[in-house]
Amino acid sequence: MLRRHALWGWGSLMVTMVPGSRYVCSTHAREEDPQNDREERILAMLGIIGTILNLLVVIFVYIYTTVT
């Protein structure tokens, strides 16, 4: 089964700025590695969970410091 995403179907475009105010564009083909894709999804989910937990800690500390 072949899946193609609208943005990553043929590769991704990377634009970098080099000294002298020039932009260099290059395309990179996306690897179709299911293990790598799974690892990226796990890391993204851990990042989202970490951000939510960090926000909860900030809210808890703010409430705790205003009450005391």
Report residue 8 as tokens: 């990553």
What share of the chain in percent tops pLDDT 70? Answer: 53
pLDDT for 24-37, tens place per residue? 666 655 556 778 89
**12, 47, 52 from 56: Cα distances, Å:** 35, 14, 6
CA dist., res. 54 & res. 15, Å (int): 32
User: What is the amino acid identity at position 4?
Assistant: R
Q: Is the dihedral of CA 30, 35, 41, 44 positive or negative?
A: negative
- 8 confidence band (pLDDT: 50, 70, 90): very low
pLDDT for the residue 31 = 56
pLDDT for the residue 43 = 95
pLDDT for 37-54, tens place per residue? 999 999 999 999 999 999
Helix (H) or strand (E) holding 58: helix 34-67
